[in-house]
Chain A
């Protein structure tokens, strides 16, 4: 049976050397903290954008993401109530 092609041998050699340090980096506290920070900043930025655009959209009589979210929460609540009724049915 033919062995691995040369390019694959080279790839495996690089990958086996790189995997350890890359995994160590991915599993490090620093990256964990960075991801945590990134998620928090992104959430705050999104909230801020929503807050600032809300008045503008409402002036144009357009719904905001928050409005849509509230509506969809209400639909979900209705669905849950329907399920409960369905479950109680003999």
Chain B
């Protein structure tokens, strides 16, 4: 519909444009100076367990309606504050509001001393210890384990390696198992291309900028489009808050411990070992079929990092009788952050967890 040419409408449009131009100028200055960055990860929490750099955070909640606590396992290559960006855009705060008792396992930022951390370090030590600490802190005997991205892979492996763990439910968000369907992001380290040793820097870890550039290659024009979004919405304070938070997270990767990276490349990428049933940890084969707890496989339909096809086989690999799928119209980060997460994705996840948990 063409805009009205009535003098009153014209005047109101001019007024709006002048106001927006002023807001653009103000927000542009603040953005350039970096003075308006939102404070991230501010939901009140306590550290209830710590080992080396890993910490288990217990978020405060005075209104727990679901007794079984949720232990979120974060990825190894990004910062966990994506799950708790800022008030009004926080998956953690949403889950708390739904009456859940929320813990988050944050692996910290690895340095040279962590370069020897193999996947066993996370799967056999970190996750089981964090589950025990969560049970103790919450006064329960079971937990819901909720893994995000590579944290989902670690959760899956931990549940399979340790069937004795008190995992009542296993929920996996954007968790890849078929790495042949992630060709774009894994192309540079496939057989015949770069060897893990060529990617690992002298600290023994994969530097964050390598990981960031790998993600950038997936959608090379996305950054330019983001700048166009920025210019279009520079006047909008709410947009700016979200833009800066997500922008900061997207540029804020952490080093990938070299030993775990080597295992990931050799077994998951080159041998597609989870799909082939040949994945080994500690010299033993890992059988995902031993997982019997209810499983929810949460997939994002517009995920360009972990495409649907890479995550879909989970329900067939686990041995659970109750293995369900939840396909959500979102992107990789959109599963847990942004306006759509609070309206579309998180209610579905929180609902499933509540339905499969013990009520308080």
Contact = CB atoms under 8 A, between A and B. Distances in A.
Interface of A: 2, 4-5, 8, 11-12, 15, 18-19, 22-23, 25-27, 32-33, 35-36, 39-40, 43, 69, 72-73, 75-76, 79-80, 83, 87
B224 interface: yes
Contacts of B217: 26-27
B198 A79 contact: no
Contact of B112 (A19, A26, A73): A73
Contacts of B202: 69, 72
Contact of B113 (A2, A12, A43, A79): A79
A72 B111 CA distance: 11
- Sorted nearest first, the 10 A-B pairs with minimum C-beta distance are A76-B112, A79-B113, A76-B113, A26-B220, A19-B221, A69-B202, A36-B193, A26-B217, A11-B228, A32-B187
Contacts of A75: 112
B55 to A, nearest CB: 15
Nearest to A83: B52
A23 B221 contact: yes
Given A27-B187, A32-B187, A36-B188, A22 B221 contact: yes
B359 interface: no
Given A27-B184, A36-B193, A76 B220 contact: no
Contact of A72 (B51, B184, B188, B203): B203
Nearest to A32: B187
Contacts of A72: 112, 202-203
Contact of B116 (A27, A35, A43, A80): A80
B112 A18 contact: no
